[in-house]
Amino acid sequence: MLCAFSFIGCNHTEDDPTNSPNPPTEDLVSVTFNVNPLAVEVAPISRSSSSGLSVGELVNTIGCAAYDESGKLVVDVFKEHNSTEIPEDFGTITATLLPGKYKLLIYGLGKGDGEIIQSFPNEYSSDLGFRKLGDREVFYTFKDIEISHSSSNVEVSLPRMSALLKVEITDEVHPNVGKVVYTFFHYDRWEASGNKGGGTNLIKKEVSIVDGYLENYQYYIPFPNSTINFKISVYDNKNTVLFERNLSLPFEPNKRTIVRGKLFSSLDNKDLEIFIEDTWGEDLEYPLPE
């Protein structure tokens, strides 16, 4: 299912019709953006519309921001759902715009538990984008558009701008181990206008031990750096570090990086393996050097 963003434009007059509660019907122009939340079909994570999934099954927040030629924010609207029953109208957002040229950001927020704050200043600037990036799957596109008096339908693909980190430790936790902590950094903010990130967000996660094994861990990295330093710290029962592993992990948007292998036997010079999943399907293996 495609997500339809409908924009309505009207003639600009000295008495701005956008400030009028009832602008003349004959001056209104309807432009619909049909949004596909995935630019490519991937598996096994939620697929594009060709799989039959609705927009609401892929993302729980959709929205858009538009700036006119003077740099003024004229649209900032979004919808979200927090239930297992997705509203039938989820996927359609309507706003009123005058004919003209605009800078448009359309986005969707999907899986993950982290908070991401949309940052749309009243005047167009490099602050346009996202702040306080956390464990959340992000889809978005930023483009120039022109609203005219001719009704039209525009297909817009929202590429996945997140990577997914997965850590799967396969051997049993040694009895002398008290806890295991993963530490890494990623961007704290993302500037849509410049397509670049900044700041640092520290992630420090103590991994649960269940039935003698470390739980599998995953984390959505929004707008990933090309490489992220990932540290595994293993402590004894007195909170003293037994050993640490420092990994340099490659990340790319719409790809999963998987760290898999035996951690506690690494004292015997056995290495963990790093996998890159291209389009979240086929694995490419990157063994760590000894």
| Domain stop point among 122, 157, 192 | 157
- State the CB neighbour count (10 A cutoff) for residue 36: 19
Task: Determine the structural domain holding residue 259 and report its residue range.
Answer: 163-287
What backbone phi and psi angles, to 5 degrees, belong to 25?
-60, -40
Regarding whether 113 and 174 lie in a shared domain, the answer is no
Q: Which of 110, 95, 6, 104 lies closest to 54, judged by CA?
A: 110
Provide the pLDDT for residue 38.
Answer: 47
Half-sphere exposure of 257 (CA within 13 A, CB side): 24
Residues 167 and 280 in one domain: yes
Of residues 237 and 270, more confidence is placed in: 237
Do 267 and 196 belong to one domain? yes
Closest CA to 253 of 170, 169, 158, 188: 158
pLDDT for 117: 92
Helices (H) and strands (E) in the chain, counts: 1, 23
207 versus 145: the higher-pLDDT residue is 207
Task: Tell which wins on pLDDT, 7 or 158.
Answer: 158
Whether residues 98 and 220 fall in one domain: no
283 shares a domain with 185: yes
Which residues does residue 209 pair with via DSSP β-bridges, in sequence order? 214
Q: What pLDDT is attached to residue 193?
A: 83
Same domain, 63 and 14: yes
Q: Tell me: do 104 and 203 sit in the same domain.
A: no
Q: Is the pLDDT of residue 141 over 70?
A: yes
Tokens of 103: 């800078």
How far is residue 177's CA from residue 192's CA, in Å, rounded to a whole number? 44
The CATH number covering residue 237 comes to: 2.60.40
- The mean per-residue pLDDT over the stretch 83-93 comes to 71
Rounded mean pLDDT of 36-61?
Answer: 51
Predicted confidence (pLDDT) per residue in 165-216, tens digit: 999 999 999 888 999 999 999 999 999 988 889 999 999 999 999 999 999 9
Mean pLDDT of 74-79: 87
pLDDT at 120: 95
Mean pLDDT of 232-260: 91
Backbone dihedral angles phi then psi of residue 27, each to the nearest 5 degrees: -90, -10
Taking the C-alpha atoms of residue 184 and residue 257, their distance in angstroms, rounded to an integer, is 14
pLDDT, mean over the chain? 77
Tokens of residue 183, six digits: 């530490």
Q: Could you read off the pLDDT of 15-31 as tens digits, one per residue?
A: 343 433 454 544 555 55
pLDDT at 219: 96
- The pLDDT confidence band at residue 280, using thresholds 50, 70 and 90, is low
Least confident interval from 22-31, 109-118, 166-175, 249-258: 22-31
Q: What's the pLDDT at 205?
A: 97
Q: Output the pTM of the full model.
A: 0.79
Give the domain-ending residue among 111, 141, 157: 157
**Block residue for tokens 């999963």:** 256
Q: How confident is the model at residue 240 (pLDDT cuts 50, 70, 90)?
A: very high
Tokens 């619909």 -> residue: 32
The reply to whether 185 and 150 lie within a common domain is: no
Asked if the model's pLDDT at residue 47 lies above 50, the reply is no
Distance CA 220, CA 111 (A): 8
Look-up: residue for tokens 């602008």?
Answer: 23
Could you tell me which of 129, 139, 224, 241 has the C-alpha nearest to residue 185? 224
Which residues, 6 or more positions from 68, have their beta carbon under 8 angstroms from its beta carbon?
74, 98, 100, 101, 102
- For the cut 60, the answer to whether the pLDDT of residue 40 exceeds it is no
